[in-house]
A and B are shown apart, each in its own frame.
Chain A
Amino acid sequence: MVEQSIGKSVLRKEDMRFITGKGQYTDDINLRGQTYGYFVRSPYAHADIGDIDVSAAAGMPGVIAVLTGKQVAEDEIGGLPCGWMIHSKDGSEMKQPHHPVMAGSKVNYVGEPVALVIADSFVEAKNAAEMVDVDYMERDAVVYAETAQSAPIIHEGISANTCYEWELGEKDATEAALASAAHVTNYEFTNNRLIPNAMEPRAAIADFNTATEDLTLYTTSQNPHLVRLIMTAFIQLAPEHKLRVIAPDVGGGFGSKIFVYSEETALAWASMKLGIPIKWTAERSESFLADAHGRDHVTTAHLAMDEEGHFLGLKVKTTANMGAYLSTFASSVPTYLYGTLLAGQYKTPNIYVEVDAVFTNTAPVDAYRGAGRPEATFLLERIVELAARETGRDPVELRRINMIQPSEFPYQTPVALEYDTGDYEASLNRALKMADYDTFGERKAASEAKGKLRGIGFSCYIEACGLAPSQVAGQLGAGVGLWESGEVRVNPTGSVTVLTGTHSHGQGHETTFAQLVASRFGISVDDVEVVHGDTGKLDFGLGTYGSRSLAVGGSALSKAADKVVEKGRLIAAHLLDTDADKIDFDDGEYRVRDSNQAKTFQEIAFAAYVPHDYPLEELEPGLAEKAFYDPGNFTYPAGTHICEVEIDPETGVVEIDRFIAVDDFGTVINPMIVEGQVHGGIAQGIGQALLEGCVYDETGQLQTGSYMDYCMPRADDLPSFAVGLTSTPCTHNPVGAKGCGEAGAIGSPPAVINAITDAIGVRDIPMPATPEKIWRAIASTTRSAA
């Protein structure tokens, strides 16, 4: 009997290749006859393009071709579509500007591709790119969300630079709640713009075979089928069956590798035009300029409470910066991934949210780890904290008296979602214990005794994951279905090949999914191989984002495995000369109930492929099954994060003394992998709170365009984390899993800012809360006290 591995920290199957340098990322692949592409990018945020003179570049050594945005327009390639239609409150459709694959007549952000130089070597392509002479006529740039609606127009026909004016919830009821409240807390703030910075820069190799007319695209994607669908159905580069997209080992994504970008599209077009393989790998400065950025919201919120502290209403107005164009899923982030989360863990009866999405001359903004949900959580957990302080309540108790109770599920929020299950106080209580909250006062006194300031901050978050019920997503404007596919192929020897439409770029699916399937069949995890990331091998899939892979993709695999078990039962019934309903399958064995007659899983597999003694008249040979799983609801991971900081008032430097995260992800397959996901999410959340901020100057030049200027969290910026799990399994998927990829980045930023403001005794501090800002805030409180 093989030991069951569900719930066990099985070491990762994928690790051996990564720790020995045998991984294969896109840039590690080299094709015969490969050439190299380098993009000429706009140095201006907003300018008209006059002539483009490529003659000098074309004459440089090694140069094969120089293609420009003007040729893209002549060939009628593109533009890049946005896959989610949002309607404004007046019923009109969002305004979607043409998003050219390369700019031909006008550039709208610094870093926008204008031309592609193709040469025999990378160095030759890069050198020649400097010789491309583009005539720019500069215009005034529109940079910030706050001022975009009163600024010069970027896209002809899109008035006030406004993409949409969206709303959700009951306006009148919410305003009435605010008017009648005993107390209203107001909060105005910015959710800082971030640059994702997966450690592997984006890269692609496009390879068009002129004889077969097959186009193969190797690319750093979280969802290769989506790339194929968009490039074929929308951009119409090639027929869908002639484009194969391979996303090999991918070095992190965090959302930034969901989208279909200019570069791989231009490369595919160029490869077809020239009939040669072309490789492009971004330099990090290109990643800063041209990867989709994240967050960038400006928000005003009002929270109403009664005399006892019960929340009565929440009214929110947000302006979201979309950047210059709508990236692939940009429109959904500040709407259905944000407004719907504003109930949080609380029973707030009235919620109304308005969101204006605006265009600016900055890089497109789209989903980055959490995508909308960190913005909603930050708003809510900050305003709740402020409300507690304003009314002299313990911030924990204020949260507690407003929490939805376990007996109240399923719980319909006023912002469209129906939470299926949860136990929020269980996570809160566990986190308080792990944080030693009871003795916080003693630690605070000890810090004060040595001239330091200590504070504690809480964040009780919820998120909606497992994207998504296709019918609901379709009603809300999604251009694609959001189910997932899974295939379980039992090989004749009884080993298993699993194919999933999700994509692993650090999440460890090759191990988790193997555990899931191995446990179902009672076989060893080593006997299961997981295949993903190649449209040539898999039917279809929607990829990995929104913490969906186990909840949706795992559920598809679970259903496919069920089908295998049932077919195996029929084969076993034949071999054991009995009825299928008399056979139990357990621990890898089909056994006739109340007897010692049995066949192993391996024997059944062999019989299926060597059908000498087999019910061929009733059953096809072979043992491989597929399933497509479309979820019935979103999943709702939730938890409590607690941050305790000690601050040196002389320098403003924050030391995170402890960070506790207790999360309810439902059923956990591999706790080691789940904890790793939480650690990474927290690091990105602390990065947002303390270190990271994308800065454009007023002319639209990116000021934080390298690791010298954009502060990435490093090992000595972070503490060790204390992570705990509670579990209320998801009620509507067969795995019981809710998803864990984004929780860390969602829950942590408000916990950090609540802790800092608690320590230094100020109402608010903008993110990133750098030592300078903290030092100035402390100085201002000292001055006002004096």
Chain B
Amino acid sequence: MSISVSMNVNGKAVTQECPANTTLVDLLREKLQLTGTHVGCDTSQCGACTVHMNGRAIKACTILAAQCEGAEITTIEGLGDANNLHPMQEAFRECHGLQCGFCTPGMIMSAVDLVNREPSLDETIIREGLEGNICRCTGYHNIVRAIETAARKMRN
């Protein structure tokens, strides 16, 4: 069964016809060609697909596009581009918080949400806050540094 869904993605109104069981990540990747959001697992564990829905981090593999009717969705492409980086994107680069880059968009989207919702951050809170995002390359060391760095900039 095909349905019509409307939402706002990265500041643009979007209406798409899609099968009712289409997940948000499939809509983003396959229909809207926003391939910065990745799929790294099939059990909602790895967090590579993390995007923002109405300002909060969600896993786009575990929500139907239909559930996002009327929502504001922000993906990595909407967070900032090369000419206008978000402080978190900038900090990941400055602190070498990425290697292969596959988990990175989801990691950055989670990290932005973490900084936004936690009034004060320390290493323990950051590490616990990243529990839903797996990185196999960095050992998280530089991701933690990046989030500390970005948090300072975001709060100023």
Contact = CB atoms under 8 A, between A and B. Distances in A.
B41 A14 contact: no
Counting chain B CB atoms within 10 Å of each CB, the highest count among A198, A199, A744 belongs to A199
B96 interface: yes
B71 interface: no
Contacts of A714: 130-131, 133-134, 140
Interface residues of A, number: 59
A678 B39 CA distance: 26
Interface in A680-719: 680-684, 706-708, 712-716, 718
B118 interface: no
Given A19-B108, A20-B36, A676-B138, A252 B99 contact: yes
A21 interface: yes
B46 interface: yes
Interface majority SS on B: helix, strand, loop or mixed? Answer: loop
Nearest to A287: B41
B6 interface: no
B70 interface: no
A720 B144 contact: yes
A649 interface: no
A528 B52 CA distance: 36
Interface string B32-69: 00111111111101101000000000000000000000
Contacts of B89: 19-20
Contacts of A251: 38, 40, 100-103
Interface string B118-137: 00000110111011011111
B82 A16 contact: yes
B9 interface: no
Contacts of B126: 715
B152 to A, nearest CB: 17
Interface string A247-272: 00111101000000000000000000
Contacts of A252: 99-100, 102, 136-137
Contacts of A22: 36, 77, 82
Interface string B68-91: 000000011100111001000110
A23 B101 contact: yes
Contacts of B131: 714-716
B126 to A, nearest CB: 7
Counting chain A CB atoms within 10 Å of each CB, the highest count among B37, B39, B48, B101 belongs to B101
A721 B139 contact: yes
B137 to A, nearest CB: 5
Interface majority SS on A: helix, strand, loop or mixed? Answer: loop
A480 interface: no
A283 B42 CA distance: 6
Interface string A194-218: 0001111100000000000000000
Contacts of B90: 19
B99 A676 contact: yes
Contact of A199 (B40, B76, B77): B40
Contacts of A679: 138-142
Contacts of A444: none
Contacts of B123: 720
Contact of A720 (B41, B93, B102, B141): B141
Contacts of B151: none
A706 B98 contact: no
Contact of B134 (A201, A706, A707): A707
B142 A16 contact: no
B24 interface: no
A680 B142 CA distance: 10
Nearest to B91: A19
B139 A200 contact: no
A251 B41 CA distance: 13
A254 B136 contact: yes
Contacts of B136: 197-199, 252, 254, 680, 683-684, 712
A661 to B, nearest CB: 11
B96 to A, nearest CB: 5
B140 A718 contact: yes
Interface string B16-37: 0001010000000100001111
Nearest to B143: A715
Nearest to B99: A506
Contacts of A390: none
Given A19-B93, A23-B36, A506-B99, A712 B137 contact: no
B65 to A, nearest CB: 14
Contacts of A23: 36, 101-102
A240 to B, nearest CB: 29
A250 B101 CA distance: 9
Contacts of B103: 199, 251
Nearest to B98: A18
A639 interface: no
Nearest to B141: A679
B46 A18 contact: no
Given A200-B102, A715-B131, A21 B46 contact: no
A713 B48 CA distance: 15
A189 interface: no
A715 B130 contact: yes
A11 B39 CA distance: 27
Nearest to B36: A21
Contacts of A15: 92-93, 98, 101
A197 B77 CA distance: 26
B137 A506 contact: yes
A21 B99 contact: no
Contacts of B142: 676, 679
B47 to A, nearest CB: 10
B99 A707 contact: no
A505 interface: yes
A467 to B, nearest CB: 21
A128 B142 CA distance: 44
Interface in A1-30: 9, 11-12, 14-25, 27-28
B92 A199 contact: no
A20 B99 contact: no
Contact of B38 (A25, A505, A706): A25
A523 to B, nearest CB: 22
Nearest to B102: A251
A284 B41 contact: yes
Contact of A28 (B35, B75, B128, B140): B35
A505 B136 CA distance: 12
A167 B66 CA distance: 62
Contacts of A198: 100, 102, 136
A8 B133 CA distance: 30
Given A249-B101, A718-B127, 18 more contacts: A14-B101, A15-B98, A15-B101, A18-B98, A19-B90, A19-B105, A21-B34, A21-B105, A200-B100, A200-B102, A201-B40, A251-B103, A284-B40, A676-B138, A677-B99, A679-B141, A712-B134, A715-B133
Interface of B: 19, 21, 29, 34-43, 45-46, 48, 75-77, 80-82, 85, 89-90, 92-94, 96, 98-105, 108, 123-124, 126-128, 130-131, 133-144
16 contacts: A19-B89, A20-B36, A24-B35, A27-B35, A200-B40, A249-B101, A285-B42, A679-B142, A683-B136, A683-B138, A706-B41, A708-B43, A713-B140, A715-B126, A715-B130, A715-B144
Top 10 closest pairs, chain A to chain B, by CB: A21-B36, A251-B102, A18-B101, A683-B139, A506-B100, A506-B99, A707-B45, A21-B76, A679-B139, A28-B35
